[in-house]
Structure 1
Amino acid sequence: MSQLPEQPAGTSVPTSADVARLAGVSRATVSYVLNNNTTVRISESTRVRVREAAADLGYVPHAAARSLRAGHTRMVLLPAAPTPAGRPHERFFTGLEADLRRLDYTVVRYGSVGLGADEAARAWAELRPVAVVSPSGITLTPKGIGVLTRSGAKAVITLGPQPVDGAHALVMDQEEIGGCAVRHLLSRGRRRIGVVIPQEPGLAPYAAPRLAGAVRAVEESSSGARVQPLPLRFDEASAQDLAGRWRGLGVDAVFAYDDEYAMLLMRALQDARVAIPAETAVIGAGDLMLCRLLRPRLSSVRTELATAQPLAEMIDRLVQNPGGAPERHDLLRAAAVGREST
C-alpha cells in the first residue's frame, strides 16, 4: 500500500476522492466498498485496500449525502424511555444495536423525557429515520405513527405490553411474569399472597398486568388462595412502614414486582424480625446477579426477550418490504428460579 502523503495543518476534511487516489481505485469503487454494496463484484484485496486507505485518512462516509442519494436514511431510532425498563431490556437493546450495525444501519438512541406521545413522534420524524423501535415507556398513538410514516419511516415498531394500531408490535406479556411468580409460590404451598404494586410514575404499564397475571394464576389453580395488592414506594421509609404492618396483613408470601423491590422489602422484613421464608416467602423478577448474593438467596422470575427471527433481520425485512399489514410477535419468555427465599 502506498505511503500516506503528508497533510499540512488545517487541511480540509478527507473526501472519497482522496481515498480513491490513495487506494488506486475509482470513487465508485470506494462508494461500493464503504457502503457495503454487494451487488458489484469487487475482490477482497481491493476491499481491504480501500478500507485501509479510509482508515489512514480518517475518512467516513457522509450519512446525510448518502441518504440524499438513496432517497432515505439508514437510521434506526431507538427512543429512550423515561423510566428504566431493567437489565434484560438493556441487554436486549444493546444486542439489537450491534446486530443493526452489522446490517449497515446507523443506530441512534434518542432521549424523549418530558415529551408527550405525539410531541415525541414529531421530534423523531425530524430526524427522518427509516425505522423506529419505541419502548413501552413512551405511548405512541395512531396519529404519531402516521406522522412517522409520512416522514419516511418504513417500519414503526412498538415494544410493550399491548400493540398499537398501525404499528408492528413486539408484545411483552407482563401478565406471564406475575402468573409465573404466583404459580411458583402456590407450588411451595403458599395461599395468602401479596403482590407489590410500585407507586413510582411510569411503572403502571408493567405493574397492572403483573397483578392481573397473579390473580389469574390463583383463579386457575382452584386452590382457594387469595391475592392482596400491596402498594409500595421505592424508598426505605415506605418499605419499613409496610414491614411494620406485615403480620397484620395475614400474607404468607409476596411477589415483589421485581428483584429491586424484592430486595428493598426483604431487608425491611428482616429488620422487622419477619422470618424468610418461614413466615413469608419472597420472589422477585429479573433474576439479577444480586439475587444469588443475598442471604437467603432470592427466588426470581427469569425473563428472556427473543423473537423467532432475529430482530435486526426482521427490521431490515420490514424496511425492505414496507406497506404490509402490521405484524405481532410475542417477545417474552418467563421461568421461575426457586432459591432459599421461597
Structure 2
Amino acid sequence: MVQIPKQQPAQRSVPTSADVARLAGVSRATVSYVLNNTSAVRISEPTRRRVHEAARELGYVPHAAARSLRAGHSRMVLMPTPEIPMGPLFSRFFNELQWALSRFDYTVVQYASLGLTGEDAARAWAELRPVAVLAPDASALNPRGVTVLKRSGARAVFTLGPHRVEGAHALLMDGRRVGEAAALHFLARGRRTIGVVVPEEAGMEPFSRPRLEGVRRTVERARTAGASVTELPLAYEEASATRLAARCRARGIDAVFAYNDEYAMLLMRALQDDGIDIPEDIAVLGSDDLMLGRLLRPRLSTVRIELPSGRGLAELVDRVVRDPGAEPEVHDVLGADVVHRESS
C-alpha cells in the first residue's frame, strides 16, 4: 500500500513594508519615515497611527541590517560586559543608561568579550558595526582598537572607568576620590592607624588599587602626626576575615576602609567575633551604601558613590554620534561622600 505524504501547511511569507503600505493606504516611503522615526519629513498623526496599526496587524518589524545599509551605519550601541561583577549600583546605572538610549532610538547590545583585550576585542566588536561603543573598562581597549572601531563605522567610542584611551571620549571614574572621602572621614574623627581592605579576588585591581591610593595620598597630604596606612588583603570568605581580624588587633589598627559594603560586613562580623568593639576599638567604613548595611548593628557607615544620570550620558552619546568629528572629551563622572552611621 502506497502512503500519500501529508501535505505540509503553506509557510506564511514574511510581511514586508510594501504589505504595510498597502494595508495602511500609504507609500512605502511613508512607512519607512514613520517606522524609522524620521524627523526630517512631517507626517500627520492620523497617518502615523494607521502605519503603526497596519504594522502590528501584519506582525511587521523593520529589518535592522537593511536599515543600516541604507543609512550607512546602524543604530546599535555596543556595551561590552566587564570581566568582574559591577555590583548593584553600577547595574542600576547601566539599566538606566540602556533605557535612556532606547528613547533616542538606539538599540543597546551587551557583548561578552570572553577575555579579549586591545585590538582583538575591538575587531570582535567592530564585526557588529555599532554606531557607538561604551567600553566599561578602559584596560580592554587601546588606541589601535579605537582606530579599528572608527574605521568600521563607529561614530562614537567611549571608555568608562579609571583610565582614558587616546582617541576615545573618556568618562573617568577616579576611584581615588572614594579613598579620599574615606580617609578624610577617619582623620576628622581622630583615627590614625588606618587599614584599607584590598580584595584578593582576581580582576578587582582596577577598582581597589585607586581606592587604596586615594587613602594614602590624602593621609600624606594631611601630614597628621602619627597617621599611617596599612594595606589589608582579604579574600571574600569567613576564614580569611577571621585571620584579618586577628591581624588588625595585633597591629593596633583603629579604622578600616573595607573597599565596599560587602567586604565591610564580612570583616565587621569577624571583628565582633574576636571581641573587638565597633566603633570604640576599630571604626569600619564600606562603600556603595547597600540596604543591608543599614540593617546591621551597629549600622554601617559607607562612602556613597554618585554616578551621572543615564539620560545625561545618553544625550552625550547622541551628540557625539551626530558630530563624529568632534575632539575627544574627558568627563569626570564619579563623585563620593561619606554617609556617617554608627560603625565609624
- The TM-score normalised by the length of structure 2 is 0.94
CA contact (8 A) 2:119 2:144 kept: yes
Instruction: Name the CA distance, whole Å, in 2 between partners of 1:61 and 1:307.
Output: 30
> Partner residue of 2:320?
318
Instruction: Name the CA distance, whole Å, in 1 between partners of 2:57 and 2:256.
Output: 60
Find out whether 1:28 has 2:29 as its counterpart: yes
CA contact (8 A) 2:289 2:302 kept: yes
Distance 1:242 1:311, change over 3 A: same
Find out whether 1:210 has 2:216 as its counterpart: no
Question: Post-superposition shift, 1:170?
Answer: 0.2
Distance 1:308 1:113, change over 3 A: closer
CA contact (8 A) 1:307 1:329 kept: no
Question: Post-superposition shift, 1:118?
Answer: 2.3
Q: More deviation in 248-257 or 238-247?
A: 238-247
CA contact (8 A) 1:81 1:135 kept: yes
Question: Post-superposition shift, 1:62?
Answer: 0.4
> Partner residue of 1:86?
87
CA contact (8 A) 1:270 1:276 kept: yes
1:47-81 Cα offsets, whole Å, 9 max, x none, are 12211221222211000000010111111100001
Question: Post-superposition shift, 1:39?
Answer: 1.2
Question: Post-superposition shift, 1:117?
Answer: 2.6
> Partner residue of 2:279?
277
Distance 1:113 1:268, change over 3 A: farther
Aligned residues: 335
> Partner residue of 1:69?
70
SS at match of 2:165: coil
Question: Post-superposition shift, 1:222?
Answer: 2.7
Find out whether 1:41 has 2:26 as its counterpart: no
SS at match of 2:60: coil
Aligned residue among 328, 338, 341 for 1:339: 341
Distance 1:308 1:31, change over 3 A: closer
CA contact (8 A) 2:278 2:284 kept: yes
- The TM-score normalised by the length of structure 1 is 0.94
Q: More deviation in 312-321 or 113-122?
A: 113-122
Instruction: Name the CA distance, whole Å, in 2 between partners of 1:290 and 1:216.
Output: 30
Instruction: Name the CA distance, whole Å, in 1 between partners of 2:117 and 2:97.
Output: 25
> Partner residue of 1:59?
60
> Partner residue of 1:173?
174
SS at match of 1:310: helix
CA contact (8 A) 1:261 1:284 kept: yes
Instruction: Name the CA distance, whole Å, in 2 between partners of 1:153 and 1:204.
Output: 29
> Partner residue of 1:3?
none
Find out whether 1:149 has 2:150 as its counterpart: yes
SS at match of 2:177: helix
How well do the aligned residues superpose, as a CA RMSD in angstroms? 1.6
Instruction: Name the CA distance, whole Å, in 2 between partners of 1:155 and 1:141.
Output: 15
Instruction: Name the CA distance, whole Å, in 1 between partners of 2:251 and 2:49.
Output: 69
CA contact (8 A) 2:194 2:229 kept: yes
> Partner residue of 2:302?
300
Structure 2 unmatched runs, 5+: 1-8
CA contact (8 A) 1:82 1:138 kept: no
> Partner residue of 2:332?
330
Q: Which amino acid aligns with 1:217?
A: T
Aligned ranges for residues 224-243 of structure 1 at < 5 Å?
224=225, 225-243=227-245
Find out whether 1:262 has 2:242 as its counterpart: no
Distance 1:308 1:232, change over 3 A: closer
1:178-236 Cα offsets, whole Å, 9 max, x none, are 01011111222211110011111111111111111101221232322211111111122
Distance 1:287 1:120, change over 3 A: same
